[in-house]
Every structure is written in C-alpha cells, then in structure tokens.
Amino acid sequence: IPSSAQEGLPFPSKAQKRPQFGTRFLTDPRQVFQHNAWDNVEWSAEQEQAAQKKVQENCQPLPAEKQEEFDNRANEYWNDFYTIHENRFFKDRHWLFTEFPELAPQQKPPQDAEANLLNVEDVPSTHNDTEFPGASASYRILEVGCGVGNTVFPILKTNNDPGLFVYCCDFSSTAVDLVKLNPEYDPSCCHAFVHDMSDASAEYPIPDHSLDVIVLIFVLSALHPQKMQNSINRLARLLKPGGVLLLRDYGRYDMAQLRFKKGRCLSENFYVRGDGTRVYFFTQDELHDLFSSAGLEKVQNLVDRRLQVNRGKQLTMYRVWVQCKYRKVLVPP
C-alpha cells in the first residue's frame, strides 16, 4: 500500500527507523518461505472467488434470540477476555508512528490546509464546563477501544510534545483498570475512562470540537453494524476542524473471516468468536460511506493485503486489513 510518506506527509525522525507497510514484495513464488511476511500481495480471480464461496457457505445467521444475547452480554465477554489475557495478548503498536505520523510530535500544518479550516474558536462548544481533563493541552488525542494501552503507552513514550494530552477509553472496565495500573500511566498527560462508543446517550468527558486526532485500531469492527454510523457521527463532532480520524481494521475476506465455521455468523460479514466477542469485516466503500456521512473527507483509504508465512510449518496465511485517514474540514460560510 502507499505509505504516508508517499502521500507527502512529513515523518518525524524517530519514525524513520521502521520501514512502512508495503515494502517487501513477492516476485518469485518459490521464495515465499524466505521471509515471514510479504506486502501488497495480489489475489487471483480464483482466490477471490474461493473466498466468496467460503463466506457464503458459512453465512447462515444465528437465531435472533442468540444474537440478542451476544449483544446484551458484550461487556461481559470483553471483561472476561482482559481478565484472562491481561496485558499479554497484544503487542505494543510501534508501527503506528510510521503509518500515522499525526501521533508523533507535530509540525505546523501546511498553509493551504489552514486556508480551508474554520477556526476552532468560531465553533460553539457543547460542553458546559470550561474545565475538563486536558483542558490546557494544545494537542489532544483520543483512542477509542484502547484495550490495555498498546497504542496509548507507545504514544506517550514517543511523543514528547509538552502540550500533548491523550485520552483513552474502552468498553471493558477490566481493560481500563489495567491501563491505570500500568506504572507508565500519568494522569497529568493521560485520562483513561470506561465508555461504550455504541451507546448514543453516553457522554464523552471532552467537549465537542476539541480533539486533534481520534484513533480506532481494530475496534469499530467489534460494534454491531447498525450502531456504527451513530458512533462515527458522535466521534466526528469531537474533532476540531482539521482534526483527523485514523482507523485500521479487518478487511473483507481476511484469513480470520474465512476461518469461521458454521454457527458463528450473526449477520452478513459479522461473526461471533468462541469467546463471545464479535467482529465485522469491512470493505473500503463501507468505511468511506460511514466517514463521509459523518462529514469527514478522505485523506487515505487503503487495503493492506499481506501474506504471512509460518516457515516452520510451511503454511501461508492471507491477511486483509483496511487503513483509513479522514479529516474534518469546514469551509467558513
């Protein structure tokens, strides 16, 4: 996939140590087991058709009452997940700074970008209190679905901007407790809280038009598809004019989707795992419609097709992820 650098966005010096996604190409199939992963892998028409057939074979949805049970107990399932795995399941996501330089120390936005932005001071705030966590910060990042902090703590370690404040929330109170118990958690520059992004009535502890960046890493896919649009609409209101929403999530026909057996489908491209947690597999167009309907404009919307290799077992695994960057731009009337 094209990297952020190829799209003309500046990279901080720290981020240059790690190569961007999309830099290792498999040109000779005989060399497939020479590396652990290959980028930008082209799918043949036969492979695409086989994936479609596999999904169609296992798409009979569960009964409505069973689906409702998974919906009502979603919080319980995620708490159980983090109780079992604690901070051992996910690795810290240091690749974020290469793909999303907005998370690293900031430079001034380019002049032409500023020309189209409505001054944030011209936008009325919906928050009654002038004081809120991070009110004095000059650059604010919110991660929704933070888990145990695999994105938040790398940000805090890498970004030394004194004006930075990071908010992080999760559906699971167990996950948020683990974030707060981390010795690197510092309430002077970070605020962790429990929040259900699919609950339209739940308030964020941040006024509208106050965030520079919102991060959604493998979290939107955990929501019921019917709740996604309202959730994105609500997040879009939190962004400053010029603020960006960053997403990386599961793409259609990812290996994980093709591995689901019968009896795991909730609705089209939406499944329940063995531990009760749920996952949706997106197309680029679906995500574009969600974000553009919320008033955000596309900066980046890419599919990352990767071939992962288990050299010991001589296995190949095809991963499909979607990576998006959408900006809130308001033109003054």
pLDDT at res. 63: 76
Residue 308 reports pLDDT greater than 80? no
CA 310 – CA 159 distance, rounded (Å): 34
CA 267 – CA 280 distance, rounded (Å): 9
Residue 89 reports pLDDT greater than 50? no
Average pLDDT over residues 17-44: 53
Q: What is the DSSP string of 131-144?
A: --TTTT-SEEEEEE
Say which CATH architecture domain 38-328 belongs to: 3-Layer(aba) Sandwich (3.40)
Domain boundaries, the chain: 38-328
Provide the residue type at 55 as one letter. V
Report which of 207, 160, 167, 208 is spatially closest to residue 185, judged by C-alpha positions: 167
Give the percent of the chain with pLDDT over 70.
71
pLDDT at res. 241: 95
pLDDT at res. 37: 53
What pLDDT, in 10s, does the model give residues 129-184?
468 999 999 999 999 999 888 899 999 988 889 999 999 999 888 889 999 999 99
**Residue predicted with more confidence, 210 or 25:** 210
Average pLDDT over residues 64-84: 72
Residue 271 reports pLDDT greater than 70? yes
Q: b/e per residue, 2-36, with b = 16+ CB within 10 A?
A: ebbeeeebeebeebeeeebbbeeebeeeeeeeeee
**Residue predicted with more confidence, 244 or 84:** 244
Q: What is the mean pLDDT of the chain?
A: 78
